[in-house]
């Protein structure tokens, strides 16, 4: 988790409850890195919100750039110390608040 300042906010509860995995489409980790998107992760049950910034995404998934965000989302759990344990997690892109440029996959 990144401790940098962020403008990320929880989505409205109605939008959160309507979220379904099909909304994520076929975007991949590489798409997010190339677009300076953070992956915002919000638990539908307790509304706990986490941001995986582009550096976080690269650190976690830098060797699996073609991984679909939807596939990541399906495996997420609200599992940190203050999490509720729910598997019902919404994800959405958030434009990263810090400067970020990505030169593509490291060979
Ligand atoms: Zn939760």
List pLDDT tens digits, range 18-43. Answer: 999 999 999 999 999 999 999 999 99
Q: Which residues contact 72 (CB under 8 A, 6 or more apart)?
A: 29, 39, 61, 91
| Mean residue pLDDT across the chain | 91
How far, in Å, is the centroid of ligand 1 from the Cα of 85?
6
* Residue among 37, 12, 15 at smallest CA distance from 27: 37
Q: For residue range 42-62, what is the model confidence (pLDDT) as tens digits? A: 999 999 999 999 999 999 999
pLDDT at 104: 84
Residue 1 pLDDT more than 60?
no
Q: How far is the CA of 46 from the centre of ligand 1 (A)?
A: 4
Beta bridge partners of 56: none
Longest dimension (CA), the chain: 43
Boundaries of every domain in the chain: 13-95
Instruction: Note whether 55 and 104 are within 8 A (CB).
Output: no
pLDDT of residue 106: 65
């Amino acid at each position: 988790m990144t401790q940098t300042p962020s403008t990320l906010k929880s989505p409205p509860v109605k939008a959160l409850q309507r979220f379904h995995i099909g909304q994520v489409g076929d975007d991949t980790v590489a798409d997010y890195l190339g677009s300076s998107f953070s992956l915002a992760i919000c638990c539908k049950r307790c509304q706990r919100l986490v941001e995986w910034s582009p550096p976080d995404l690269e650190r976690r998934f830098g060797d699996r750039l073609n991984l679909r965000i939807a596939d990541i989302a399906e495996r997420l759990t609200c599992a940190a110390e203050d999490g509720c344990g729910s598997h019902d997690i919404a994800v959405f892109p958030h434009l990263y608040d810090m400067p970020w440029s990505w030169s593509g996959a490291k060979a």
